[in-house]
Amino acid sequence: MITTSNEYCSYCQHSSFVPLRSTWARAVFNKMESDRCLKNIDRNKWYRLSRYDLLRNEYQQCFEQLYEDEETTVFIKESENRSDNVPLQIIHSLLTSLLTLFITRTSANGLIGRGRMFVYSKAQFKTLLDIESHEESSRFNSLLDIGAGDGSVTERMSSLFKNVYVTELSSAMQWRLSNYGYTVLDADHWQNLTFDVITCLNVLDRCEKPLTLLKQIRQHLNSKIGRLIISLVLPFKPYFEYNNNHYPDETIEIEGDLPEEQINSFLLNVLQPLGFRLKKLTRLPYLCEGDIERSYYFLYDYIFVLEMS
């Protein structure tokens, strides 16, 4: 789903294996300390805006607070159990260190099933689309999940659609997504297809040409019932994995220091001029499975549900 820099997100930057018993002992000790901190977190705060008052009035009216549900809790518990499995974590570290000699870390993690992501549950996704029954879900026939990664997030959405399409830069991930039965499209050319729902989850800060991508989405979104769901970690820190300097070719200009200020800027100066109108706004934890040093990792994700204006 994403690629990361050390500065932006440590949870997918797993340390290279060092074959010393003291290294593993130190990692286990660090895990005990980090897990103690995790248990003291008030997870209700994950879903609240810190400075709601800074949002423009029209965006305040679109904010809908969600809450931790059963599927989210299960993901966290499974992450804790996998992290506690020390032999599994050692094997994962060894395999990742070996594979990253030949492929990117994102592809390596995807191949061995390490570092699954969680953006929202199926129930939360249905809430974002105002789906309460099977009849309501049938109005959306096609989904395009951009930058689908290993497909773990796509899986939570796919049962609501007759046709599921995905894009992904990593060839290893493309292979995995194809095996899941999803139609894999070229990242830059989506044929003459139109989609009822397009999801762009934690991609705009990790792609080479984010403005071009948004324009492409505009062209392929169903003009009548189409919904675009964007998730974005704020503060905004772009990073592109697939070139040497890791800077994207295009820059999204987002102003402000606080997340709520950046939300205003992103909507007013980027999305609205491209023809998108905000329908819903919420905040969710962007979760990732942990490793030998931490049960799970999280960032704050801001979710924008948009329609064409």
| Helix runs in the chain, H state only | 21-39, 57-60, 70-84, 86-99, 105-112, 122-128, 134-137, 152-158, 171-179, 210-220, 259-265
Q: Which of 282, 297, 295, 302 is nearest to 27 (CA)?
A: 295
Q: What confidence score (pLDDT) does residue 5 get?
A: 37
- Rounded to whole angstroms, the Cα distance separating 37 from 294 reads 10
Helix axes 86-99, 21-39, angle to 10 degrees: 110
Q: What is the mean pLDDT of residues 38-65?
A: 96
pLDDT at residue 3 greater than cutoff 70: no
Q: What confidence score (pLDDT) does residue 135 get?
A: 66
Model pLDDT for residues 124-175, shown as the tens digit of each residue: 999 999 998 766 667 899 999 999 999 999 999 999 999 999 999 888 889 8
**286 burial type by CB count under 10 A (0-12 exposed, 13-18 middle, 19+ buried):** buried
Is 179 part of any domain? yes
Q: What confidence score (pLDDT) does residue 269 get?
A: 96
Is 5 part of any domain? no
Phi, psi of 84 (to 5 degrees): -75, -15
Domain that holds residue 144: 57-70+84-308
Give the chain's domain count.
Answer: 1
The owner of tokens 């999803």 is 182
Is 3 part of any domain? no
By residue count, the chain amounts to: 309
Is 241 part of any domain? yes
- Rounded to whole angstroms, the Cα distance separating 205 from 240 reads 8
Q: What confidence score (pLDDT) does residue 286 get?
A: 97
Q: Which of 130 and 89 is assigned the larger pLDDT?
A: 130
Task: Report residue 24's pLDDT band, with 50, 70 and 90 as the boundaries.
Answer: low
Average pLDDT over all residues of the chain: 87
**Global confidence as pTM:** 0.86
Q: What confidence score (pLDDT) does residue 249 get?
A: 83
Is 167 part of any domain? yes
- Rounded to whole angstroms, the Cα distance separating 64 from 48 reads 10
Model pLDDT for residues 214-267, shown as the tens digit of each residue: 999 999 999 999 999 999 999 999 888 776 766 778 989 899 999 999 999 999
Is 303 part of any domain? yes
Is 116 part of any domain? yes
pLDDT at residue 12 greater than cutoff 50: no
Is 46 part of any domain? no
Q: Which of 21-25, 80-84, 214-218, 231-235 has the lowest mean pLDDT?
A: 21-25
pLDDT at residue 17 greater than cutoff 70: no
Q: What confidence score (pLDDT) does residue 6 get?
A: 36
Domain containing 272 — which CATH number? 3.40.50.150
CA quadruple 295, 299, 300, 305: dihedral positive or negative? negative
Please report, for residues 16, 246, 276, the alpha-carbon distance to residue 232 in angstroms, rounded to integers and kept in the order given: 28, 18, 16
Amino acid at 293: E
pLDDT at residue 102 greater than cutoff 50: yes
Q: What confidence score (pLDDT) does residue 285 get?
A: 97
